[in-house]
Structure 1
Amino acid sequence: MIVNSVSEYIQEIKNISSKLLGDDNHDLWFRAENEFFKTKLIPSIFREKDFFGEELSKSNIYESKVITPEGCNIASKIENTLRSKFSINNHIYNKNKYSSDSWENYYLMQHYGIPTRLLDWSESALIALFFCVEKLNSEYNGIIWILNPYKLNELSFLDFQSLNSKHKDNLYSVHTPQRNKKKSTPNGILTNYLDFKFDDNNNFNFPIAITPTRFDLRMKYQKSNFTIFGNIVNGLLANPSNNDFLDKIIINKDKIEEIKDELYVLGITNESIYPGLEGVAKDVMYETRKIVKKEL
């Protein structure tokens, strides 16, 4: 459905919530993209073909849904290089001394634009809508993806035979991951995801939803969450059961400015998304343009 206003959007969210959640009392997650986006629901490192040489191309990372063990090895080396180079310098600016192989360091890499296998989501439908209409005068419709992270995890974790019976009863949950080498636990599996260790070419490691430690104000204000991808480039859309956990709403490109104005009335502004002077400056510019436009 194409929506033209915040009220239509909220109504459609209600309709989709009934479908994706049923009687479950859980939160859905939301992500904004552009309809023209050629790599829909694909994390940034899998979009960066320049990072991958001929050797990885032979692994058919872009021709096939599943990355071979050889491809995982090469991609892991690339990620480790990015981690190391980022970690050498981030301690100067970041008071928290996270190790290069920690989850927190990986979140920081994503936060500052280094390609990772993380895909950003928000717990707030209105924040996602703001990201969708942030740039005015778009030539293309926007998309709001809607995810049931609990159902996604239930389906993704079910593929892991290593989970013992103690943990199989708790698959319908979203973890704040910690490093753990025990493969029979959800955290152990997530550690393999963080380290990009997928040795079996026949094993489909679909994305898993995780809640980060929100040590950064922007992550807190934006109600940030992530899906971390395994060895499937387009792991969400490639999942044969994605209708059980995923849906979308189309935002009319011709109504973007009106929707942004409605969000401002509701208190969803740049400053509420980007805490600090960056948000203040963006709001000043937006409001000034509106005044100038009215005067002309």
Structure 2
Amino acid sequence: MTQLIVKPKAKRPRPSLQITSVSSFVYHVVRWLLDGHAPTAFRGQRHFGWHSLPKIFREDNNVYDSESLAVRDIVSLHPGEFEPDKTMFDRLVRMQHFGLPTRLLDVTTNPLVALWFATEPSSTTDEFHGVVQALLVPQNRQRYYDSDRVSCMANLANLTKKQKIDLSIAAIESNSNEEFNNTPIVDTLVFQVGMEKSHFRKVVIASDLELPIYVKPKMSNKRIIAQSGAFMLWGTQIYSGAEATRLRQDRIWIHEDDKAEIRRDLGLLGINERTLFPEIDKSTKFIADLYGTGGKPRGMSTLL
């Protein structure tokens, strides 16, 4: 395990398969297999060249170096918002919801939701054409929200930059997991986990902190429910060159010129900004945009 954060600079190549309509997408999805299995989750992005990384690891911000301060600041400023959250993972989900860069990556179990995000119009001339990515996550890298492994990985967000480096050095230099667990920095991590799990035993597996895992969250958030949401949770390392650690994935792309029509058709299927973002500010924007263009949603009465 290494603390070196490898940020891939080259854009990803365009996938070979192009989707031009909702119907062709559905036809492909029902037959979409990875190593003989249906995908675990999907993710849509408005540009095919972007790497799927959590915001905190992207090059357009430096929040990672001050991650522990950022998570404390947001809770300090809005304590009431985080009052229902019992674990650090719960807090990370809420922070992600409000736009703070975290070590979480949004995914969905509904491919039509992923398609909607892939059809977001591009605002730059060199980052256009959307992509839907299908992920196959092995069972040993899937966890529920209350997993001890999830608690250990999520609480890395409470460590300072130096502490995260110390943790990686301890993992590299330790000859056994027992030796790793006897280091002071693991004591620090265990203390953070113990704040939410008083029963937690001091058994931290170094390799468990390294690879991204798929986490099934509590369906206690309106947006998660609406988007059939789940998360990929990153630990101490965001990229591994070892083939055995990479998740099996496949991608299809959408031409920029097809995005608008695909979004209109998705709207007929109930996949639109109003349903995916059920907060009142999103609903008012959706309605204002709709009637501002002279339209009317299917099934909505004109008598208000």
Asked if TM exceeds 0.5, the reply is: yes
How far apart are residue 11 of structure 1 and its match? 1.7
Q: Matched residue of 1:249: which SS?
A: strand
Distance 1:21 1:242 in 2: 19
Distance change (3 Å), C-alpha of 1:138 and 1:126: farther
How far apart are residue 104 of structure 1 and its match? 0.8
Residues 1:261 and 2:293 are matched in the alignment: no
Distance 1:9 1:177 in 2: 31
The aligned residue for residue 228 of structure 1 is: 233
Distance change (3 Å), C-alpha of 1:239 and 1:247: farther
Q: Matched residue of 1:192: which SS?
A: helix
Whichever residue aligns with residue 233 of structure 1, its letter is I
Alignment of 1:154-233 (within 5 A): 154=140, 156=141, 174-178=142-146, 187-196=147-156, 198=168, 199-201=170-172, 205-233=210-238
The aligned residue for residue 9 of structure 1 is: 25
How far apart are residue 86 of structure 1 and its match? 1.4
TM-score by length of 1: 0.68
TM-score by length of 2: 0.66
The aligned residue for residue 29 of structure 1 is: 41
Among 39, 44, 47, the residue aligned to 2:55: 44
Residues 1:78 and 2:89 are matched in the alignment: no
Distance 1:245 1:215 in 2: 29
Distance 2:153 2:82 in 1: 25
Residues 1:288 and 2:291 are matched in the alignment: yes
How far apart are residue 276 of structure 1 and its match? 3.6
The aligned residue for residue 91 of structure 1 is: 79
Distance change (3 Å), C-alpha of 1:21 and 1:200: same
The aligned residue for residue 132 of structure 2 is: 144
Distance 1:267 1:92 in 2: 33
How far apart are residue 262 of structure 1 and its match? 0.7
Aligned length: 232
Distance change (3 Å), C-alpha of 1:289 and 1:195: same
The aligned residue for residue 68 of structure 1 is: none
Q: Matched residue of 2:78: which SS?
A: helix
Q: Deviations over 1:33-88 (max 9, x none)?
A: 132654x1111111156527xxxxxxxxxxxxxxxxxxxxxx5x722212211111
The aligned residue for residue 61 of structure 1 is: none
Distance 1:255 1:138 in 2: 17
Q: Matched residue of 2:252: which SS?
A: strand
Distance 1:35 1:216 in 2: 27
The aligned residue for residue 127 of structure 1 is: 113
How far apart are residue 95 of structure 1 and its match? 5.1
Distance change (3 Å), C-alpha of 1:177 and 1:36: closer
Q: Matched residue of 2:281: which SS?
A: helix
How far apart are residue 263 of structure 1 and its match? 0.6
How far apart are residue 227 of structure 1 and its match? 0.6
Distance change (3 Å), C-alpha of 1:244 and 1:120: closer
Q: Matched residue of 1:175: which SS?
A: strand
Unaligned runs of 5+ in 1: 53-74, 157-173, 179-186
Distance 1:260 1:138 in 2: 19
**Which sits farther off after the overlay, 121-130 or 274-283?**
274-283
Unaligned runs of 5+ in 2: 1-16, 157-166, 174-205, 296-304
How far apart are residue 275 of structure 1 and its match? 0.9
User: Which structure 1 residue ranges, 4+ long, deviate > 4 Å from structure 2?
Assistant: 136-139, 241-244
Q: Deviations over 1:80-107 (max 9, x none)?
A: 21221111132234552x36x6221111
The aligned residue for residue 252 of structure 1 is: 255
CA contact (8 A) 1:21 1:148 kept: no
Q: Deviations over 1:175-213 (max 9, x none)?
A: 2232xxxxxxxx333332112254424876221000111
Distance 1:142 1:41 in 2: 13
CA RMSD after TM alignment: 2.9
CA contact (8 A) 2:39 2:135 kept: no
Distance 1:42 1:88 in 2: 27
